[in-house]
Amino acid sequence: MKKPTMRHERITKGLERMPHRALLFATGVRREDLEKPFIGVATSWNDLIPGHMHMRTLERFIERGIFSAGGVAFFFGIPGVCDGIAMGHEGMRYSLPLRELIADSIESVARAHAFDGLVLLTNCDKITPGMLMALMRLDLPGIVVTAGPMLTGNYKGKKLTLVRDTFEAIGRFKAGEIDEKDLEEIEIRACPGPGSCQGLYTANTMACVTEAMGLSLPGCATAPAVEAEKLRIAHTSGCRAVELVREGMNARKIARREAFRNCIRVDMALGGSTNSVLHIPAIAHEAGIELPLETFDRLSKDTPHIASMQPGGDWCIEDLHRAGGIPAILSELGAKIEDNPTVSGRSILQIAREGEVSNREVIKPLGEAYSKEGGIAILKGNLAPDGAVVKQSAVKPELRKFKGKAVVFDSEEDAMSAVMKGRIRKGSVIVIRYEGPKGGPGMREMLSVTAAIVGMGLADHVALITDGRFSGGTKGPCIGHISPEAMEGGPIAVLRNGDEIEIDMPGRKLNVNLAKKELASRLKGWKAPEPKVKTGYLVRYARSVTSAATGAICR
């Protein structure tokens, strides 16, 4: 086999590269290492995020794998934000925009240092898609290591998770269901150690999506953060990164249209986070593939929901792992999966054939699915001409059609205040606007509001619509990503208190019951408000970001 040309030779070959070699030798590189593949390891380790605090150990095992396979490892850092800690204040404005910074940072370092391949060590919400966007843009051989889910906590014999037992507990405490002692015990026990939050929220959704695309090894998405299996996966991933370089297996050879359709089907079968509808199109865009919203809806209608995960159900990622993980889901989906290569060296259909469901309580057969349709639905109508997104698998069937009077807020904070003060009446449709990609800016998640609604016993009696977005932990009739957003003069901008809003998830409709002439008159008289943020990175982000309907990419 012909030896592939190494990209790093542009900084190591020839007399004129003597200064470059001198600088490499200063880092401890040996002369014989110059002939080996240079593997960049982008790591998002930090002390800030529970899902990332254990990555130092994973870094060691990745490094072992790279060196044992005959490569040279170069580690560099990538910023991370914990969405849970950023939630409910100005910090959340930075979460989605961080995705673009991560992609740009990896591109910059990888091109400047002429890496032959990449290992991407990641875990949480916007960090994983940001890294995948960079890999697609660079089209290098690369492999992703997601650092694994957190184990569940326990209190009085009851399984605890972050969203259900802390965010929702705030409302339960306000409603008098739990006392202060319970509150203190739950908050210290809910997150027992390292890993991404336990349910199928955004971090774990994107880990599952990555594995289903074939860009991480089988088992990587669901193997718990604290188990030795994760260390072995990290080691093997380091080995495979070197082998992928030698095989000339660039990322886009794996991330084909088939891979994107496969990962959407797995997402629908699991009932994953609505944030995947932002991230998957953005990743596809970097791979040169356009993926309109309609693709999600079409595949959802043809993909049964076979695993009822938290927040809509009761199972956590550790349960999914014990039941067979993503290979078991692929196996159950069977003929719906399209063949595609993967970083493991095996095709996705080989992995599917080897997958085995070991717990039918967690993963149902297709014929006994929770629903004939997948987890996400795309709604359109005079309130969302370009589309809106709902996690229908987390909505009770009787609430999938909802009609109510609008209660309008121009920020998340105002809505949260009204909920906590008991000002929201049953039958209301809470409207939170000017929280989209441009208007937020940054398209904040609304988990604090939605969790408080659940905790206060209003989940079955109110709906919420927004041009912002929701955490993967949101459940109930909550519709996000309304496009065009208010800041772009979308119809949500001219809603008034008392307007009747009609939600029809089975019919895929979202409308305000206004005459066309009245709606047109309101839109004609609309003027954009002053931006909420006037300095710094978010101003530049707001100028370049596109609609949520296109993945909130920056042009």
Between vectors from CA 201 to CA 195 and to CA 207, what angle results, nearest 5°? 65
Cα separations (Å) of 517 from 192, 199, 380, 486, 502?
A: 56, 45, 19, 19, 18
297: amino acid identity, one letter: D
Give dist(CA 481, CA 477) in Å, integer.
Answer: 14
36 in Cβ contact with 72 (< 8 Å)? yes
89 in Cβ contact with 260 (< 8 Å)? no
Closest Cα to residue 544, out of 553, 554, 533? 554
429 in Cβ contact with 406 (< 8 Å)? yes
Give the orientation angle of helix 537-544 with respect to helix 95-112, to 10 degrees: 90
How many CB atoms sit inside 10 A of residue 446's CB? 26
Beta bridge mates, 345:
none
Beta bridge mates, 404:
501
Give dist(CA 474, CA 471) in Å, integer.
Answer: 6
189 in Cβ contact with 154 (< 8 Å)? yes
Beta bridge mates, 146:
122
Cα separations (Å) of 304 from 371, 375, 398?
A: 6, 8, 19
The alpha carbon of residue 510 and the mean position of all alpha carbons in its chain are separated, in whole angstroms, by 24
Count Cβ atoms within 10 A of the Cβ of residue 69 and give its class: 0-12 exposed, 13-18 middle, 19 or more buried: buried
104: amino acid identity, one letter: D
Tokens of 374: 């997948």
Strand positions, DSSP E, 319-427: 376-381, 384-391, 401-409
Closest Cα to residue 270, out of 369, 124, 151, 145? 369
Tokens of 138: 């660079």
341 in Cβ contact with 250 (< 8 Å)? no
Residue of 471, 483, 521, 547 marked catalytic = 471
468 in Cβ contact with 435 (< 8 Å)? yes
CA dihedral 463, 83, 224, 369 (to 10 degrees): 20
Give dist(CA 552, CA 488) in Å, integer.
Answer: 13
Active site residue 471: yes
**Number of continuous H segments (helices) and E segments (strands) in the chain:** 21, 14
212 in Cβ contact with 342 (< 8 Å)? no
**Site of tokens 């979202």:** 510
Closest Cα to residue 64, out of 249, 240, 246? 240
Show which residues are catalytic: 471
